Structure 1
């Protein structure tokens, strides 16, 4: 009878080990699947000449635009693809103060809602007076 209990205990331990091991593998696979569908984009906010905030945001590959990540990181207001306010900091057309942005150090040629981004891109939004 003792031998049967020992065999059952060993079987139970082996089954439990494989159950937890397989569950861990499935969990890692779902995490990897999520990572495969996401890209990381770094956003920086700049007020005149001073960087004020920086965040790295994961965005879905399929919806990867400048606007998608920006809205995920901060409260954003826009009009016709142009940013009018980020995190409560508003542009002021009367004083010719506007939000502009660069993508990997180059000024963008599209609105934030149309500009696609790739993994590890760097987007910098600047609130400054335009000449």
Structure 2
């Protein structure tokens, strides 16, 4: 009887000590990463789409550079995978996050989990 009681006490102790630690570890690691979907468009045609896993607090530029070859200067994107801006024709890369225009450079805009970033290469009409 004493052996059974000792076994049960050990089992309860193992469950109490190790189960919460495992659950906490899984939860902690999942909160360190976010998933962000990027869509690239040239005029109105979609040319690429990827969902990337990034570290929490990542910027738009961080994810873009993880998924594609990018040329930028001070956070302003001038080329993505060979698709270049054309200043003479007023064709530029612009971006939105969750369909809202962003008024800061891509290296300053921090992302949240499940954000959707859309880059569009098109003529500026302003």
Normalization by structure 1: what TM-score?
0.74
* 2:115 corresponds to 1:121: yes
1:1-131 aligned at under 5 Å gives the runs 33-62=28-57, 64-131=58-125
**Shift in Å, 1:103:** 0.6
Greater percentage in helix: 1
Give the number of the structure whose alpha-carbon radius of gyration is greater. Answer: 1
Q: CA RMSD in A?
A: 1.9
**Shift in Å, 1:83:** 0.2
Normalization by structure 2: what TM-score?
0.76
Gap regions ≥5 residues in structure 1:
1-21
**Alpha-carbon distance in structure 2 between the residues aligned to 1:108 and 1:115:** 8
